[in-house]
Amino acid sequence: MEEKAYKLLASQLDISGKRAKELIDRGLVYVGDKKLKIARAPLKEDTKFRVELPANIEKIYEDDDMVVVNKPAFLDSYEVEAEFPGAKLIHRLDRETSGVLLLAKNEEFLQKAIEEFKNKKVVKRYVAWVEGVVYEELKIDAPIWSVKRAGKVISKIDFKRGKEALTIVKPNIVQGKKSKVDIEIKTGRTHQIRIHLAYVEHPIVGDEAYGSVTKAKRILLHAKEIEIFDKHFIAPEPKDILKYK
């Protein structure tokens, strides 16, 4: 016999159907090595699930103006914000992206920090595993156009309507047909790194939406460093970034 996936999960974990749907929708539930994507998918009643909950939020730094954390993968930036009452996000990371995230503790500092981002005075460095072999530095200068549709932001390379976007990619390690790369972005467009790497035919491992052919627990992208004002923050690489399998 078969039953809807979220009902089976709810029964096995002794949780509500709503909570089971939430876990599936957030990409935290696996059947074998495959991520379960559809909460209402019919599955055999003896199906065994694996749930991978996000790691704890690690505080890197705090003073009177800001809180800096190492955001784990599978948490929305707004979920992190909710853990620090009164603090406001200065910028955001995609849900599956881990790494340095900045929050302001007062309005004056928030506006100053936002201006630093707008004026391109903030240094942002990432590390990622990508498809294919990257053996030389890549300078990706391609405008990105974003539009909201059905509550979601869709971005793409568009040389007529797009806004300036510049990404620098440097080779780090080659392992088989995958490469670990260091990335610095000079602008901050929605999904910029993901789109630019796909544009040069090196999509991030696990990023099926932008062309990755490799299954992974998440998009293997980590925000490693941020320099703002006179401060420099580093988030240690998680295990899945330090070494690819």
Task: List, by residue number, the catalytic residues.
Answer: 94
Q: How far is CA 33 from the centre of its chain?
A: 20
Of 77, 74, 85, 81, the closest CA to residue 22 belongs to: 74
What CA–CA distance (Å, rounded) separates 92 from 197? 19
Residue showing tokens 């909950």:
53
Query: Residue 44: beta bridge partners?
Result: 2
The shares of helix, strand and coil residues in the chain, as percent rounded to the nearest 5, are 20, 35, 40
Longest Cα–Cα distance of the chain, Å, equals 62
Distance in Å from the first CA to the final CA of the chain: 36
* Distances from the Cα of 50 to the Cα of 42, 53, 190, angstroms: 17, 10, 31
